[in-house]
Every structure is written in C-alpha cells, then in structure tokens.
Amino acid sequence: MVTILLAAVRKTAATRAATATPATVPTASTAPIWLGVLGAVTLAGAFAAVLTFSVRVLSSQGQEAVGGLLSVLAVALVTAMIFWMRRTARTLSAHLRGEVARAAAIGAGALTITAFLSVGREGLETTLFLWTAAKASGQTAAPLAGAAIGIAAAVALCWLLYRRAIHLNVGVFFNRTALALIVIAAGVLAYGLGDLQDAGLLPGQAWIAFDLTPHIDPGSWWASIITGVTELSPKMTVLQVAAWLGYLAIVIPAFVTAGRAPAAAGPASAVPAQATASASAVPAQATASAEPEPAASPTPATERAAAMSATESGPPLVPGRWARLAGSRPWAVAVVLVAVPALAAGATIVALPVGKSAAAAAVTVSKTGCAPEWTSAAGGTQTFTVDNQSGLAGEVDLDNASGAVVGEIETIGPGTSAQLTATLGTGTYTFKCAMGSRPVTASQPVTVTAGPAGQTGTDPSGASTPVAVKPVTVAELTSPNTKYQAYAAAQLTQLAHDVATIGTELRHDDLAAAKRDWLNAQQDWERVGASYDSFGDLGLAVDGLPDGLENGVSDKGFTGLHRLEYGLWHGQPASELVPVAETLNKNVAKVRQNLTSDDLAGDPTQLPIRAHEIIEDALRDHLSGMDDEGGGAAFAETYADTQVDRVVLGYLAPLLDTRQPGLVKTADSELTTLQQALLATRNQEGEWLSLTAASLSQRQHVDAATGQLLETLAAVPDLLEVPPAH
C-alpha cells in the first residue's frame, strides 16, 4: 500500500508538471505520505501498549479469557481481510491511486489522512494478530524478532518497487502468501480456544486429544520451528484440534473457490478511461511501479475528472469535508495523527489499576536457580514476570510459609516469559521452580511485614487474585484412592454377576430379561467410575462405541455392553449375542484383575480429576445421546454416575474441606438436585424414559442441574493437584 501511495504521488506530480509553467513546476514531495504512515504506526503501537498493560492488571484467569477472546477476534479479522484482499487485490492500486489524485488536488493534509487511513486499518489488524501470536508462543521475543524481520523485508521491497528495481503483481503475491497466513490463523484460533478453556469459558479442558510432552522436548529447534509456523503446541485438547482442522477445511477451499470467480466488468474492476489516460493509471495486472509513465498534457479540468473517475473503484477514504479542512493545515493534521494515539494510550495506561498496586518484579529461572532476583517484597497485589532461561518446560509456584500456593504458572515453556499474580499479606514467601526432570529449586524466603491480612479476595483495583491452596501430596491421595479401588472392585463383582446372568438368559432365548439385566449391568459399569475412557483399552473393550471403527457396528472391535445394547434393540437373535456376552465376561475379569494398575485406577493423582470427569462424561456421552445404541438409558446411566461421584467426593472430602470449606457440601446438595431431576424422568411404572420420550421441561431441569454441578466440581482438580515438587 505504501509503495502504491508513493508512486501515485510521483505520478500525480508529473501529471501536474505537464500543464504547469517552468516557474511553477510542483515537486513530488512524499513527506505527507510518510507522516500519514507514521501516524498509522503510532496508532498500532498505542493499541499494542493498551493491550499489553490492560491485560496485566487482570487475574491469571482473566488474562486467559481476554487473550482467548482477542485471539478469536484476530482470526476473524484476518480471515475477513484475506477474503477482502482476494476480491480487491487486482483493483487495489487503481483505488489508492485515485484517492491520491483526489487528495493531491485538495492539499498535503489530505494526502496525510489518505495514507493514515490506508495503512491504519491494516496496522491495527496486524498488531492484534501479532499480539495474539506472541502470546500463543509464550510471550517470547521470538515473534517480535520475526515480525521485525518481516517488516524490514517489507520496507526493502517497498524501496525496490519505488525505485522500479522490480515489479510486483499484487494479486499473485497475495494469493501465494495468504495460504501461509491461513495456516498461522488456524493455530492462533486453536490457541485462543485453549485459553478460553483454561479460563473456564469453554468446556473440555481435560479432554486431551494428544500430549507429546513426555516424548519430545518443546524447546528443541525442530519443535520450536513447528510451533512458530503453525502455532500448534505439543499438548492440545480435542476442541483445539477440531477447531484447527475445521478452520483449514473450511477456509482453504473457500479461498481457492473465491479466486475462480471471473472479475466483474465495470468501474469496480477496471480503471476508467479518463484515469487510464492520465498518469495516475495503473497496469491491468495492478503492478506497483514508481516511475511516471508517458502522459498526455491534460487540462486542469481533465485532471480533476481523472481524479474523480479513479475513485470509482471504491468509496473515498477521506470524506470531502474533512479532506478540504485538512488540505490547508498539513502539519496540524500530522501532529494530530501522531500525537493523539500516543496521548490516548498513555492516558489509558496511567488510568489502569496496575498503577495502584505494588510494582511488578522480573525474576528468572535458570538450570540451577529459581528467582534469584527476588530479595524483598511489599504487601498487596504483586505481578511477577517470570523469564524461563532453563531450556526446559516446567512449573513455577509462589508458596507461603505453610506451603500453600498463592500464585502459580502451571506450564512455562523454554525461552518464554509469563506473568504470575498474587496478593501478599504478612508472612514469608518462596518461589519454587520445577523444570523438566531436574530437581526442584527454590528462591530465598522473603518476609512481608505489612500488607493485607490474607491472600484471598481482591486487590485495591478490584481484580481477583489467586486463592492460597496448600499443595496436596501423593501420600494424602493414596488413602482415598485405595478406598475408591475397593468400591470399584465391588461394582465390578456385581457387573460380572449381571453379565453372567445375561449370558444365561440369552442361551434360553429370553431377550426381554436380557434387556432388563443389560440396564443393570450398564449401571454397574457407570458406578465403577471409568470416565473419559480412563480405563484405557480394557475400558473400551467393556464399554466402547463403534465410532471410528472401520466397519462400524459390524466391526469385530465393537464389543462390550454397547454391542449387546445394539443387538438387543436391533432385532438380532439371541444366538448371535451369546458370544458377545462371553467376550464381555472375559474382559470384565481382566479389568478386575488389573484394577490397581496405573493404567486403570492405580494412580492416586487421577482421583480428583475423576470427580469432575464422571459428570462431564455423562453430559458428553449420555445426555447428548452420543452413546445410545437403542436402549434409551441416558437418564438411568447418568443417575448411576451421580452415585459414584458422591462416593468419590466423600473420599476426597477431608482434603477438600481444608482447602475450600463448603465446596463438598455445595456439591453434595447439587448432586441431590440432579438426582431428583433424573428420577423425575421415570414414568408411573418406574421405568426410565429415553431422551426423546422425556418432556422438554424434564430435559431442561436435568441439563440445568448438570451444568451447575459441573461448575462446582471444576474446582476439585485444581485444589487437589499434586505439584511437581511433590
């Protein structure tokens, strides 16, 4: 855009020179263009400063929410820009040259505003996209360095084009680079949705599609290149992967298809005859060339007509009234365009609450040290910028004297920085850094002698601050998990009995009894608590679905309870289902045998996650109808899930009560509400209704109670997370 504007100014000056007397030949001053560009750059920089400083005053959850929303907005803007450029790249030069010819006839100030508006919009979109891309890569300096290289290359390209060293077909150039931009935008979208999941605005944070961190080093050069190009991370949720693939699957074909449409004839797609006759005309392929082309000697009237005609390719950038006003005051216009954004950003930043809290501190993490710069602190809200120079990914916590975590960064990548916010009261605090497989390192203890009485609540600015939570240890979770294993073993014993009963009924061709006992067996399995396929391949063998199998419901890999369900409710003879029941019985026996292994229920750290995922799994699979193979047992299965969830919460209650009093009591009350809503879906004979047979009011009561319970249970995994130090 800048190249076209500069070339247009020079050509417009040449056109005027052809009609001027030797004593009044105008010079091709490009100063107004550069002043407009400077104003646009100032606007973009001011926008970036406001983004950065305004987000810093938020809590960690607030930062994730804002970052996620801005990432999605950036992707939307860039996507719109991609398709806009696809439509207008061929006529962009004509439109901008016409604007320059029109502005030059008014005055230098109008040229400045034209440049400002032409570059300003793209600058704001670029700033937002770069800000979110930098955040997606861990707020490291690498994206800024990459952007600086790109801008330097663009400046060099601008100069070469202006000097006529090269010619550039704008449409072809953009079409080649747009595909790379689409891939980057897909990664930013995935990252933004992950931020929204971390902030609790979107579900599925624990539904991990893949986690490659145990197998690859995120800080390796090749992993850094992949992350930098695609904005993908080694660990992603199902929602992030689906969004990334979905965006590419929709946008790339739409972009390619949009380019096949023939350009419409008319003023919007071609330069009018008058403009073509003047020196402000452009080649048919919208090449950017700076040297003036041979021109006739138009009269002033012809020149004005050419300027007006050239603008027919699009609406004028500068309204006529403002253009005339600016034309007579070029330097005042330049000062306003440069100073106003800077002053507005400065005033906004000064007014932010960040100035009312304690000053932020910068600390580093190295291979051998943890926050050595932190030697003193004042009471109140503190924001620490943690710079990871260890070369490894890890976790950074700020603990008080009792070991409670008052602030944390759960994952910080190598070579990146992140912010940790906490409210410090009177007491002693220590940073602890657990990077990769290296031993945990700690900073020196720092004592705060004055400040708020506690570490919870809000700071003077009103921003929420992290709750101090005493870390839980594996030893503390072992006893509750052992009790859970004993409970699950009893449910598996009952399941084995019910499956054997189904086999006997099938051998006697009693399908009605088999259907009845299938529901009993399915509820037995739900009460085991094997949520989100947490029992691995054995769990899938007992309760797997045909989704993803090559032959669907006819695939040999489709076994277990849902295979029986499909056969019983789709008219298959009992003789065909006997082998299914026998295979199921063997798989249940294997689960019972391996129950205490880490692949099933042997890992104590998974128990707090299970407390939330049991109900989330019910919402995803049962209440959505996704796992219904004909039995219509969504409400019955969900009721069984509430039973096991109450048991798990009971085992975890002593640990939860010391960290967030009242949470278990609230969850227990909400479990009762959900159970009452579920029981209301039975008919007068006590039989469970299916999702389609239940009334809208019944389904709404169940959904509302489930959503409320999930909000409460979402705190359990965070409260009982075992940090790397333990």
User: Tens of pLDDT along 331-340?
Assistant: 666 677 777 7
119-128, 149-158, 351-360, 665-674: range with highest mean pLDDT: 665-674
- How many whole angstroms separate alpha carbon 390 and alpha carbon 434? 10
Contact (Cβ atoms closer than 8 angstroms) between residue 435 and residue 405: no
Contact (Cβ atoms closer than 8 angstroms) between residue 639 and residue 675: yes
Three-state DSSP class for 412?
strand
Q: What is the DSSP letter of 431?
A: E
- How many whole angstroms separate alpha carbon 563 and alpha carbon 540? 11
How much of the chain exceeds pLDDT 90, in percent? Answer: 29
- How many whole angstroms separate alpha carbon 461 and alpha carbon 62? 14
* pLDDT at residue 344, rounded to an integer: 77
Mean pLDDT computed over 470-497: 93
Instruction: Outline which parts of the chain fall under CATH 2.60.40.420.
Output: 360-448
Mention every residue, 6+ apart, whose C-beta is less than 8 A from residue 624.
none
Q: Is the pLDDT assigned to residue 462 strictly greater than 50?
A: no
Contact (Cβ atoms closer than 8 angstroms) between residue 440 and residue 451: no
* pLDDT at residue 169, rounded to an integer: 67
Q: How far apart are the first and last CA of the chain?
A: 57
pLDDT, tens only, 605-634:
899 999 999 999 999 899 989 899 999 999
pLDDT, tens only, 245-304:
999 999 989 888 875 545 444 443 333 333 333 333 333 333 444 333 433 334 444 444
- How many whole angstroms separate alpha carbon 640 and alpha carbon 615? 10
Instruction: Outline which parts of the chain fall under CATH 1.20.1420.20.
Output: 474-719
Mention every residue, 6+ apart, whose C-beta is less than 8 A from residue 402.
470
Mention every residue, 6+ apart, whose C-beta is less than 8 A from residue 695.
none
- How many whole angstroms separate alpha carbon 69 and alpha carbon 74? 9
Model confidence band, residue 25 (pLDDT cutoffs 50, 70, 90)? very low
Contact (Cβ atoms closer than 8 angstroms) between residue 439 and residue 367: no
- How many whole angstroms separate alpha carbon 678 and alpha carbon 702? 6
Q: Is the pLDDT assigned to residue 328 strictly greater than 60?
A: no
Q: What is the DSSP letter of 622?
A: I
Q: The tokens 């508006």 sit on which residue? A: 117
Dump the DSSP string for 319-350.
-HHHHHHHHT-HHHHHHHHHHHHHHHHHHHHH
CB burial of 295-332 (b: ≥16 within 10 Å; e: otherwise) equals beebeeebbebbbbbbbbbbebbbeeeebebbbeebee
Mean pLDDT computed over 30-55: 77
Contact (Cβ atoms closer than 8 angstroms) between residue 252 and residue 179: yes
92-96, 489-493, 509-513, 537-541: the lowest-pLDDT one: 92-96
Number of other CB atoms surrounding residue 25 within 10 Å: 12
Model confidence band, residue 209 (pLDDT cutoffs 50, 70, 90)? confident
pLDDT, tens only, 541-556:
999 999 878 888 898 8
* pLDDT at residue 154, rounded to an integer: 84
* pLDDT at residue 317, rounded to an integer: 46
pLDDT, tens only, 516-549:
999 999 999 999 998 766 788 888 899 999 987 8
Question: Residue 367 to residues 220, 363, 441, 627: CA-CA distances in angstroms?
Answer: 16, 14, 9, 48
Q: Is the pLDDT assigned to residue 318 strictly greater than 50?
A: no
Report the CATH number of the 360-448 domain. 2.60.40.420
Q: Which residue has the higher pLDDT, 127 or 654?
A: 654
Q: Is the pLDDT assigned to residue 32 strictly greater than 70?
A: yes
* pLDDT at residue 354, rounded to an integer: 45
Number of other CB atoms surrounding residue 453 within 10 Å: 9
* pLDDT at residue 140, rounded to an integer: 53
* pLDDT at residue 273, rounded to an integer: 35
- How many whole angstroms separate alpha carbon 4 and alpha carbon 45? 23
Q: Which residue has the higher pLDDT, 53 or 577?
A: 577
Contact (Cβ atoms closer than 8 angstroms) between residue 207 and residue 242: no
Q: Which residue has the higher pLDDT, 425 or 577?
A: 577
* pLDDT at residue 333, rounded to an integer: 64
Model confidence band, residue 170 (pLDDT cutoffs 50, 70, 90)? low
Contact (Cβ atoms closer than 8 angstroms) between residue 234 and residue 213: yes
* pLDDT at residue 199, rounded to an integer: 73
How much of the chain exceeds pLDDT 70, in percent? Answer: 68
pLDDT, tens only, 660-688:
899 999 999 999 999 999 999 999 989 99
* pLDDT at residue 204, rounded to an integer: 77
106-120, 234-248, 304-318, 631-645: the lowest-pLDDT one: 304-318
- How many whole angstroms separate alpha carbon 109 and alpha carbon 39? 12
6-15, 47-56, 269-278, 584-593: the lowest-pLDDT one: 269-278
Number of other CB atoms surrounding residue 571 within 10 Å: 8
Domain 474-719 in CATH 3.30.70.20? The answer is: no
- How many whole angstroms separate alpha carbon 442 and alpha carbon 370? 5
- How many whole angstroms separate alpha carbon 204 and alpha carbon 621? 13
Mean pLDDT of the chain: 76
96-110, 248-262, 354-368, 610-624: range with highest mean pLDDT: 610-624
For strand 441-442 and strand 208-211, is the pairing parallel, antiparallel, or unpaired? unpaired
